[in-house]
Chain A
Amino acid sequence: MNISNVAAAPAREMEFARHVFDLAEQSLRELNQALHGLARGSNETSWEVLNPKGSHSVAVGVDQPVAVDVRGSVGYYCGGMNAGGTITVHGSAGPGVGENMMSGSIVVKGDASQYAGATGRGGLLVIEGNASSRCGISMKGIDIVVRGNIGHMSAFMAQSGNLVVLGDAGDALGDSIYEARLFVRGKVKSLGADCIKKEMRPEHIALLQDLLDRAGIRDAKPEEFTRYGSARKLYNFNIDNADAY
């Protein structure tokens, strides 16, 4: 695709109104059905959700490049499986925000509960507050940026992608990690099995700068972070451990 041609395309003349869904009056099923019903290339790209009040599965399974602003706190699995949507939670998120995200982005203005971004395959998840336990568990390509702290067992069995933490990390960070990269600016309470501190080479500085830029973070420098990753000692069975089984 030639990018300059897209930029030069004539602006659409029709203005489409923002869709406002009030979950105090309309059902969650109606909201998600409306989002799933959008045709490819639809102009209905702007959505606002009112009164979520901790509802589960808000804007799950979005598969078009639409913007969804959720005004308040959500429960389980907000934005799960997101493919191309831009979802902003103007509040906090319950367990499993952005679980198995494929692409697009999710921004949580408050805190996130357990297993944020679990199994995520792509896209960017930004948590402006803290994330609790198991953040990025089994991540498979997603990028996660947390402005605050993360809880214990984060990046457990993380396979690929990047987890950036401006605050501290809890116990057992990166236990049984594969090839995901972890960048922590603050303290790490303890590292999990096979997770080790690694050097920051120029390519990691560049990668981290790009992630911080995309997350809209301007008050942190990549040089302030420490990189952690896999020692690759658990990849193959070690015959010396045979007695343990």
Chain B
Amino acid sequence: MCGIVGLFLKDKSLEPRLGALLSEMLISMTDRGPDSAGIAIYDSGAAGRGKITIQSSAPKADFEGLEAELGKKIEAKVSLTVKSTHAVLDVPSDKLEEARAAINELRPNVRLMGAGEAIEIYKEVGLPAEVVKRFDLTGMSGSHGIGHTRMATESAVTTLGAHPFSTGPDQCLVHNGSLSNHNNLRRELIRDGMRFETENDTEVAAAYLSSKIAHGQNLGQALQSSLDDLDGFFTFVVGTKNGFGVVRDPIACKPAVMAETDQYVAFGSEYRALANLPGIDGAKVWEPEPSTVYFWEH
């Protein structure tokens, strides 16, 4: 099964409430995905600064002293905010790549969740309400975000098997469905130089989009190509620095409903996820068409 939610704010006055609204949407999708949950939230920091979200199974040991060590290594001001098993490193945006490589060297066991100028990704196993509490998601502000509740079908219930998956700088993907050609596609992508950490089908979709983008497509084109190259069932929601996109496979059996008002565009696997949003009674509510790429940007 799995549940997906997404919220893209048009009205800046709602930004301080983004985490709270998205958390409630996520928790409403608990019975679609009780084994893990994750959220990607976009909040542009100071100009010229970037963020790297990392995760560790031994956070105390791994995060201790990292701030100073990384700062020294990349010769820049670095700050680190720890949230449970995750930490967000604030670095100069022109040193994002350098910092990623340095983290890999300094802490080989730390996993990179996502990086960019605005994105932070948090995901863990456990009930969505527990994940929300663990990372204090209700207190977060931002311009838009996407979330996922997982009921695993294709691979193990692990932190790395949870969604969202990073697809590139400030980009991520969540998925409801199951891909049937992911093993073959993974082999092709490995030949193309992509690296994989799990046996998960969605990681393949994420790597597929990253690969297409690396070969010069924009995200919209990459999503369009996915309709030809990915076999199976999928409703994808992707997050970008400025917005979010939605695409459903041609059969479109995985549910999806959207709502739009002057204040926001929202996505839910079910209407339940949207039912408590402000002004929902007056919203335009519709089901996205199959094989159609939708996009909203600031």
Which residues from chain A sit less than 8 Å from chain B, CB to CB? 53-55, 73-76, 92, 94-95, 110-111, 113-114, 132-133, 151-153
Contacts and interface: CB of A to CB of B under 8 A. Distances in A.
A114 B286 contact: no
B252 A133 contact: yes
Greatest chain B CB density within 10 A among A54, A92, A95, A133 is at A54
The DSSP consensus for interface residues of chain B is loop
A4 B271 CA distance: 46
Given A53-B275, A111-B287, A133-B290, 15 more contacts: A53-B276, A54-B271, A54-B273, A54-B274, A73-B271, A75-B272, A92-B271, A110-B285, A111-B285, A113-B257, A114-B253, A133-B251, A151-B252, A151-B290, A153-B251
B255 interface: yes
Top 3 A-B pairs, shortest CB-CB distance: A54-B272, A54-B271, A53-B275
Interface residues of B, number: 17
B272 A53 contact: yes
Interface in B270-294: 270-276, 285-287, 289-290
Interface of B: 251-253, 255, 257, 270-276, 285-287, 289-290
15 contacts: A53-B271, A54-B271, A54-B275, A73-B271, A74-B271, A92-B271, A92-B285, A94-B255, A94-B270, A110-B285, A111-B286, A114-B253, A133-B251, A133-B290, A152-B290
A113 B287 contact: yes
Contacts of A53: 271-272, 275-276
A113 B255 contact: yes
The DSSP consensus for interface residues of chain A is loop
A124 B287 CA distance: 23
Contacts of B273: 54
A152 B252 CA distance: 9
A54 B252 contact: no
Contacts of B257: 94, 113
B47 to A, nearest CB: 41
